[in-house]
Structure 1
């Protein structure tokens, strides 16, 4: 992974980071057509204002992946509580999969939590995101079923947590 850098996005990365996120969700069939989530996924500039965004870029500066890091009580928080850090919208470009980018971004979130002195990291994931669930479980995340929820009647999100 020496050819990949994890860093905050620059304004010139915003559009690419948004497109990578939408593509990642679309290719796996995780975008519900009727809720407009693709527009939210593209709004990297807004996420940068209200949360912390990280991107994985290659040596040419191309965005290969991204993740949004969220504080409890902030506009993008879904399930985090005081003393926890949450992440959302983890995405890897379909063309960059299998290179460890999702793991590197997740580990960067864990490092960020440690730097902030936070005890736990939590996340919500679509029930069908099986490859993401395998990654989280391999890294030591455990299911947190009491925080599973539905943002819409036809969309189920399952929760995970890890102690850091």
Structure 2
């Protein structure tokens, strides 16, 4: 799932990087009303849960700046680094690690929520899928063609995505 997640982000950002800064920031119909806000939200939530998964201690302070990356190119660089961290984290997990407790800071009114790593990870992936779908729909109203994001990610399809997966290693989408 982490590899599929990174691959989907690569495809989405490949389209977003063709937009002008104005098109990227333009108001659109969605929960977060721009590609810029939606994709920054995805990154911040990734950081929030990764912090909880790794006992980083930052908690809700991750959300202190709601728009850390106004430009798509800067946001892509940060998202690619986040995806690399998540890939490495997931690759290092054992079955026992999935049962390890993750403490999620939900703020003073709720406190600390305790979940297992094995429950938090699917939530992270579903969150990204949900908001990438919104970004995909918003791209329909731009000069950039929305990329295919729901292809099968199976071994038999590996030759079809080999170049893209190699570009994950270089962290730069090919155009």
TM-score by length of 1: 0.33
Q: Which has the larger radius of gyration?
A: 2
The structure that is strand-richer by fraction is: 1
The structure that is helix-richer by fraction is: 2
Higher relative contact order (CA 8 A, sep 6+): 2
